[in-house]
Structure 1
Amino acid sequence: MTATIENPNYRYPARSKGRRGPNLEKAGWIFMRASGVVLIVLIFGHLAYNLLWTPGGIHAIDFGFVGGKLAQPFWQWWDVLMLWLAILHGSNGMRTIVNDYVHQPRLRTIALGAIAAAAAILIILGTLITFTFDPCPAGADAALLPEFCASR
């Protein structure tokens, strides 16, 4: 006895045969695989540095540690790249879910717009915070500042 599965007749096919131009669904699929591999390297590098290579391990992580790390351009770019890829990777995944399950065009447009707006706001704010963070603000009480601020 064999069973035949009916064609679900999707409302929004990923790509029809007669369509021309770039295949954005394929680009999104490739981006998810590539960004996932890069994110694994970035996240495990981040964890290894913070937890294994830093003397004191997790107990050494405090405001001073983070401030000192974010004062170095290498770690600023490492963290920003990790932030950008994580947000774009997650947003692309949410876009895929919306495309699969939301079939009302207006609601779908609103959901995709909300995802894009949230991603843009998070990327802008995260980047701004990473590059403008100053652990040694001028005029602050020296007793409240990390040890490395005394050398300034």
Structure 2
Amino acid sequence: MAVSIEAPRAPRTRTTRRTTGRTNYELYGWVFMRASGVLLVVLIFGHLFMNLIDGEGISAIDFGFVAGKWASPLWQVWDLLMLWLAMIHGTNGVRTIINDYAERDGTRIVLKVALYLAFTVVVVLGTLVIFTFDPCPPDAPANLLPSFCTA
């Protein structure tokens, strides 16, 4: 009885994954990760500078500070862009990890559905909070309200 062993440098074929045509999806994901990473560094350091260094430090961050900051459309868009880019960047990275390490198709599908569901919930809720935030809520104590609110 003869046993044949593949050559050690022979290309391996995976039977669990289907390959359908050639697309540039992974290339676009790779380029996006680099571009969004650079932009996220700028957005995050701008965020930290504004909140911690330019102001009175961490002790000044409270409801009134956030309300005053989000009263400006610039900071709403800034924080929205930071949220969206961070979530897309992180989701793409975790998607790549799932593709690399999940062996079975069923496991891969379940993990990706959970990932995309978590992405959707966080992005929708974060976007709603940023754009529906009321800096002057009724019945709030006057000492907690920002200076531009009339109590």
TM-score in terms of structure 1 length: 0.83
The aligned residue for residue 4 of structure 2 is none
Counterpart Cα distance in 2 of 1:45 and 1:31: 21
SS at 1:30's partner residue? helix
Change (3 A) 1:150 1:118: closer
Asked which structure has the greater RCO (Cα within 8 Å, sep 6+), the reply is 2
SS at 1:151's partner residue? coil
The aligned residue for residue 9 of structure 1 is 12
The aligned residue for residue 111 of structure 1 is 111
Offset of 1:144 from its aligned partner?
A: 5.4
> Higher helix fraction: Structure 1 or Structure 2?
1
The aligned residue for residue 51 of structure 2 is 50
The aligned residue for residue 145 of structure 2 is 146
What are structure 2's unaligned runs of at least 5 residues?
Answer: 1-6
SS at 2:147's partner residue? helix
Offset of 1:142 from its aligned partner?
A: 3.9
The aligned residue for residue 74 of structure 1 is 74
Q: Percent identity?
A: 51
What are structure 1's unaligned runs of at least 5 residues?
Answer: none
Counterpart Cα distance in 1 of 2:84 and 2:140: 34
Offset of 1:97 from its aligned partner?
A: 0.3
Larger Rg belongs to: 2
TM-score in terms of structure 2 length: 0.84
Tell me if structure 2 keeps the 8 A contact 1:142–1:150. Answer: no
Aligned residue pair count? 145
The aligned residue for residue 19 of structure 1 is 21
The aligned residue for residue 40 of structure 2 is 39
Tell me if structure 2 keeps the 8 A contact 1:136–1:145. Answer: no
Change (3 A) 1:5 1:127: farther
Offset of 1:71 from its aligned partner?
A: 1.3
Counterpart Cα distance in 2 of 1:76 and 1:107: 38
Counterpart Cα distance in 2 of 1:12 and 1:99: 14
Aligned partner letter, 2:68: G
The aligned residue for residue 130 of structure 1 is 130
Counterpart Cα distance in 2 of 1:5 and 1:148: 72
- Which 10-residue stretch deviates more, 28-37 or 57-66? 57-66
Counterpart Cα distance in 2 of 1:67 and 1:32: 32
Change (3 A) 1:98 1:147: closer
